[in-house]
Structure 1
């Protein structure tokens, strides 16, 4: 009888295992020290995106600059271009990165041709989609530059980009843009503005909660869509239970390292 009142976990064991493995993969390969010391939880608010804009191009450029900086890619030759300037077969320069991968201390060892990315003009009126899309593209650039596939291999590349975007601190926007309600009449709904998500809402919220757990963030649910708040709370409980019972040395070491930084 008591089992009827047990709170079921947000995700299955298989989903949880892959997301945690991928989070650890991100920590190991994409500058875990930067994550612990510098990463912040980015919110779709004026405190994170304060600049006023007056045109589509200015909006695209300002958001791009902020996302690039928050992701710790200030030193990378990633350049924004207008959609019409993107080539269908845009090949990526292989960078020679010395030492740190992210942050002000990252060093590109040799001059390199810029890595071009663009934007979807339809997303200008959906800034959370624009932010999450930029973060996902930059995540893919890092993965391809690093040359280390995520758990599950190439088939999981797009899902790993979503995980890495949240690892950068953009989990609120990644979670909020998985699904869009059409609204009452659907007249304001624009399917072409929506981000193509590789994780489900529950999976995205879980990764965001995982990031908040290791960053010691208490109010990670604050800017999530209202229907995601209960999912976030379930994810936090699932993560706390998992960590209390975990025998994984890598996770326990990461938690100890994170707690030492917060104390």
Structure 2
């Protein structure tokens, strides 16, 4: 009888397994030590984005520089260009690092012949969280292709893994807040072209964000989430606690110990 009153887990066992496996894949391939010691949970506040701008181009460049640096990709050969100057197709040029690939001390060992070009969606200028999340997702995708290591599930899961990796880089708040944009009561205020294209669901994205925050116990990961996502975060955190309590995964147990979670 008591089983009737047990709350349903946020995600299925299969969804949890893939997200946890993808988290482990990110730790193993995208500098897990940087994640543990340097990655911050980026919030949509003036503390993280204090710059004053006077044009669309300046805002795009300024936000991109912030996102790039918070992602630990300062050393990467990246160049933001106006949408009109972005080639229809481009491949990631070959380059490699002498050691770690993320953080202020990362150094390129083999430089590419040209930088990786990326751009922005002008429609997102008035939706800065979408702009930040889109930049984070693009950087994550570039990192995956540069590394050349497919995520769990293979090539078919690259888009979903990019969303997860963006959360791993610290952008889970904005990634979660921009999965779905409500149309609201004013049709003229809603611009579907400004929305980012999410590959993970709201619940999956919030779970990944909560998993990242689990190893950042000093952070309140739900503080800046949309109101309806705060309860989702709490359910995710509860499911993560139960999962880690029973896991034999040495990586998760090591991170738990090192982070003091």
TM-score range, shorter chain: over 0.9
TM-score for the superposition, normalised by structure 2: 0.97
1:255 CA drift (Å): 1.7
Partner of residue 135, structure 2: 134
TM-superposition CA deviations, 1:147-199 (whole Å, max 9, x none)? 00000000000000000000000000000000011111321111110000000
What are the ranges of 5 or more consecutive residues in structure 1 without an aligned counterpart? Answer: none
Task: Give the equivalent residue in structure 1 for 2:122.
Answer: 121
- Residues 50-100 of structure 1 show CA distances to partners (whole Å, capped at 9, x for unaligned) of 001111001101100000000000111111000000001222211121101
Q: How does 1:85-234 map to 2 (within 5 A)?
A: 85-112=85-112, 113-234=114-235
Match of residue 258 from structure 2: 257
Q: 1:249 Cα deviation (Å)? A: 2.2
* Secondary structure of residue in 1 paired with 2:189: coil
Measure the CA separation in 2 of the matches of 1:210 and 1:227: 19
Name the counterpart of 1:40. 40
Where 1:220 maps in the other structure, the secondary structure is coil
How far has the Cα of 1:218 moved from its partner? 4.1
RMSD after superposition: 1.1
| 1:206-244 CA-partner distances (Å, limit 9, x unpaired) | 000000001224411000000000000000100111111
Deviation of 1:251 after TM superposition, in Å, equals 1.8
- Structure 1 length normalisation: TM-score? 0.96
Q: What is the CA–CA distance in structure 1 between the aligned matches of 2:124 and 2:104, rounded to whole Å?
A: 29
1:181 alignment partner, SS class: coil
Moved more, 137-146 or 88-97: 88-97
The corresponding residue for 1:64 is 64
**How far is 1:205 from its partner?**
0.2
Gaps of 5+ in 2: none
Q: Paired residues, what number?
A: 260
Distance (Å, rounded) in 1 between the aligned partners of 2:45 and 2:53: 14
* Cα separation, 2, equivalents of 1:24 and 1:71: 18
